[in-house]
Amino acid sequence: MNLVGGGRDVRNRVRAAQSAAFRAAEAQIEDWGLEQNEQGWRAEAFLYCVEVKPPDCDYYIPLAPSWLVDEYLRTVVIWRHDEGIDRLRPDVVEISAAELREFKNTKGATLVDGRVIDPFDPNRSWSVESLRGPDGLRLWETDEVVPRKDDLFQERLYCIRWMDTEGNRLYRSPNSCDFEREAKALRLLNERIANWRMKGFIPSAPIPLDGDKTSEPVRTRGWTCWSHLFNPRQLLTHGLVASQSLSNLHQDRVLAAAAMLNLGRLADWNSRLSCWLSSPTQIAGGKNTFLNQALNPLYNYSARPLSMMASAQIDFDSERPIRAASAVEIGDARDVNRECDLWITDPPYADAVQYHELGDFFLAWYGKHIRGAFSDWLPDARGQLAVRGEGEDFKKSMVEIYSNLARHMPDDGMQLVMFTHQNPAVWADLGMILWAAGLRVTAAWTVATETPVGGIKKGNYVQGTVLLVMRKRVEEKHGFLDEVYPEVEDEVKRQIDSMRALDDGAEPNFGDTDYQLAAYAAALRVLTGYQTLDGQDVSHELFRAKPTGRGAVAEKSRFERVIDRGIQIACDYLIPRGLEAAWPSLSADERLYLRALDVESRGERRQGVFQELARGFGVRELMPLLQGGRANQSRVRTPSEFGRRDLGGGGAFASTPLRHLLFAVHATVADEGKPEVGRNYLKELLPDYWGDRTRLTAILDWLASLAHGDDDRWTADAEGARLLAGRLRTDHG
Ligand SMILES: C[S@@+](CC[C@H](N)C(=O)[O-])C[C@H]1O[C@@H](n2cnc3c(N)ncnc32)[C@H](O)[C@@H]1O
């Protein structure tokens, strides 16, 4: 059975069944009048929030990290207190651009850094943790769908987006008719819930208490069943679609599978974990539960009416039907026992995502229907089989998996391993694992797959996935490390040359991490061709006993050092454009500063990337070069930010000619653009001023030309560099 690749017939059948189920559910909702108001306006989104009444407060405080509803339409919620009433009243209003800025700066926020803030007295606040109390929250009973009256956290509807009969979008606070519709949805759900649970149309499975991610909803909300992640309106809508799409299937496995997948889609896009995201350039909208790969309950969230979910249905591709014999099986990759010419795998990595825990969210919706469609499948994520951790166990299971797959392919077979890169050090481990499994890397491709959430401020950078292409290592090749080094060097250079040839100077396609990973891959291409190096095989190195105990630092294995060398070569070889002539005479610290600047000018702000660069250049002291400590907000110090700091002092960078040059730029800026002081300073300080002059001028030109986009911290310094370069160029003594 194929859904993707099933061809036209499958696609049409699935489409017809799905739209019939959707239409029937829509007709029912329409009949109940749950998504339309008295004026005939259609709801587009319902916004809910948690509210809490601290012990010494007279009213419930609605919680949200921001009450900005829609930046594009400049709409916010302002809470009002009516005397004697313990529920606040939301006022949904349009505001001016100036006020909008304040709201973006969390004006009015009632939840900041884990504290509840009184909206009428920002000096009054309570920590959420202390409100939860030492014993934590009451755990919900399976059948509960809303909080009990005496629960700490209550929930309320605070805003609805409507489309009026003329097609205008309007945000409104809910009125009494809206609350009646909410009550009706709850009543309708309660009438059906027992039956629907029995038939498996809504989840009954408990949330595992011991998971890394799954313990979060239990601890922070008291939710114990997967159905608790959905509010009454959401459960009613999904239950209705489920009852329509999963009944009367007459054992049609294709339709059952498609219906389950669609329900998973609805669950993802419409839960109490669906956040509401506002943007300056387009109308706000609800997002999916797994916008991040976690299960973080939200204080305010959005729910979709059914009419806004038609587009969430999966349209299976019919253009590329699978014609070959195919089999879909689930199982532990260590137990695979069929032969394949090509194995394509996408392994989990170093606990980056807890798939087996997050998978339960979907399995809870598939429930018993899985057994109906696939008799030997279980609605169980089989957590105990999942490859986990990042230490010995992880490596061991990975080597077992890849050795098994290598055993089940012919000598001319191939493997393709996908790996979304995060930490290049982890990448080195993957290389060694595959190597130990008897595979040889023959090629590596970086494919742009993921854009970081929210996008990076400058430049258009994407997150890459590396595809490693591998063959079986059939040849018995034994080598010696000192012979391998030059081979690695050539391979890394070849790799970088080929990427640079593709890179367009104005708008580079490859980011720095891409180059580094390509360098790793190139090193691996050489290394994995050998069965042993200096008489030792890689398993020995991979599972080498690491020192234990406090403060013990694992010494790098010799193989790791070869891989690191690959990175170093890449670092040395990747010279920023325009600095080619000056480069050979620069020290490692100077090169690091300039390369970091080069990378930063293309929008990079991740400290990890700068750290990798420092590692590549073999420089220990990175932090003095950086400004801003936060992991994703790092940038390189400008000449003016350096000022006199550490000038000529103890650090390796502090006494380099480049550091003095930066000071001279700063002096030029400080002297209102007059380069004389800077030039005299250099002349006095540098023993070989005349010899250094040409390369210093080249560096100044490069600094002046660096595109720093909207970063005005550089504007004056770049101009200073330009003026000083002019002075140095015309210096005749
Ligand atoms: C990176 S994800 C794959 C994502 C998938 N390619 C996709 O696009 O949705 C890694 C997967 O490996 C699975 N996995 C973990 N341990 C496994 C094992 N021992 N055998 C087979 N699969 C395993 C995880 O459950 C997870 O679904």
pLDDT digits (tens, 9 = 90+) for 595-620: 999 888 877 787 877 887 888 788 88
- What pLDDT is recorded for position 553? 59
Cα 384–388–393 angle (5° rounding)? 100
Dist. CA 307–CA 303, nearest whole Å: 12
Dist. CA 244–CA 306, nearest whole Å: 13
- What pLDDT is recorded for position 631? 65
User: Domain for residue 362, yes or no?
Assistant: no
115 or 708, higher pLDDT: 115
User: Domain for residue 374, yes or no?
Assistant: no
Banded pLDDT at 452 (limits 50, 70, 90): very low
* Atom of ligand 1 minimally distant from the CA of 420: 1
pLDDT digits (tens, 9 = 90+) for 188-245: 999 999 999 999 999 999 999 888 888 899 999 999 999 999 999 999 999 999 999 9
> 498 pLDDT exceeds 60?
yes
DSSP, residue by residue, 172-201:
E---HHHHHHHHHHHHHHHHHHHHHHHHTS
Dist. CA 521–CA 515, nearest whole Å: 10
Quote the domain boundaries for residue 480.
337-356+382-546+554-569
Q: Ligand 1 in contact with 416 (CB < 6 A)?
A: no
Do 587 and 562 belong to one domain? no
Looking up tokens 């801003």 gives: 628
Q: Where are the alpha helices (DSSP H) in 447-480?
A: none
Dist. CA 256–CA 13, nearest whole Å: 12
> 710 pLDDT exceeds 70?
no
**Count of alpha carbons within 13 Å of 656, Cβ hemisphere only?**
18
> 547 pLDDT exceeds 60?
no
Domain boundary among 312, 329, 364: 312
Dist. CA 149–CA 172, nearest whole Å: 26
Do 49 and 160 belong to one domain? yes
Do 489 and 587 belong to one domain? no
252 or 237, higher pLDDT: 237
How high is the mean pLDDT of the chain?
Answer: 88
Phi-psi region of 113 (alpha: psi -120 to 50; beta: other; left: phi over 0): left
Give distance in angstroms: CA of 270 to centre of ligand 1: 24
Give nearest CA residue, ligand 1 atom 5.
346
User: Domain for residue 610, yes or no?
Assistant: yes
Q: How far is CA 272 from the centre of its chain?
A: 20
Phi-psi region of 270 (alpha: psi -120 to 50; beta: other; left: phi over 0): beta
Do 292 and 349 belong to one domain? no
Dist. CA 697–CA 708, nearest whole Å: 20
Residue whose C-alpha is closest to residue 170's, from 184, 160, 180, 185: 160
- What pLDDT is recorded for position 459? 34
The amino acid at 624:
P
pLDDT digits (tens, 9 = 90+) for 399-425: 999 999 999 999 999 999 988 755 556
Cα 661–663–667 angle (5° rounding)? 115
Count CB-CB contacts under 10 A for residue 418: 14
Banded pLDDT at 733 (limits 50, 70, 90): confident
Given a contact cutoff of 8 angstroms between Cβ atoms, the answer to whether 725 and 679 are in contact is no
Do 182 and 238 belong to one domain? yes
- What pLDDT is recorded for position 430? 82
Do 536 and 590 belong to one domain? no
> 508 pLDDT exceeds 60?
no
Given a contact cutoff of 8 angstroms between Cβ atoms, the answer to whether 196 and 243 are in contact is yes
Do 458 and 603 belong to one domain? no
Given a contact cutoff of 8 angstroms between Cβ atoms, the answer to whether 560 and 435 are in contact is no
- What pLDDT is recorded for position 509? 67
Dist. CA 462–CA 456, nearest whole Å: 9
Backbone angles phi, psi at 600, to 5 degrees: -65, -35
Over residues 279-304, the mean pLDDT reads 92
Do 301 and 347 belong to one domain? no
Residues 6+ apart with CB under 8 A from 234: 270, 271, 272, 303
Do 42 and 106 belong to one domain? yes
- What pLDDT is recorded for position 120? 96
Dist. CA 649–CA 440, nearest whole Å: 48
How many domains, the chain?
3
- What pLDDT is recorded for position 545? 61
Domain boundary among 278, 312, 346: 312
Do 205 and 347 belong to one domain? no
Backbone angles phi, psi at 89, to 5 degrees: -110, 125
Do 401 and 465 belong to one domain? yes
Q: Ligand 1 in contact with 372 (CB < 6 A)?
A: no
User: Domain for residue 653, yes or no?
Assistant: yes
Percent of the chain whose pLDDT exceeds 70:
92
Mutate to test the pocket of ligand 1, among 346, 382, 426 (most ligand atoms within 8 A of CB): 346
Dist. CA 52–CA 73, nearest whole Å: 29
Backbone angles phi, psi at 389, to 5 degrees: 75, -170
Do 489 and 621 belong to one domain? no
User: Domain for residue 30, yes or no?
Assistant: yes
Domain boundary among 259, 279, 312: 312
* Atom of ligand 1 minimally distant from the CA of 348: 10
Residue whose C-alpha is closest to residue 541's, from 529, 523, 556, 551: 556
User: Domain for residue 413, yes or no?
Assistant: yes
Give nearest CA residue, ligand 1 atom 7.
346
User: Domain for residue 55, yes or no?
Assistant: yes
Q: Ligand 1 in contact with 386 (CB < 6 A)?
A: yes
289 or 6, higher pLDDT: 289
User: Domain for residue 367, yes or no?
Assistant: no
Q: What are the structure tokens assigned to 261, written together?
A: 């997948």
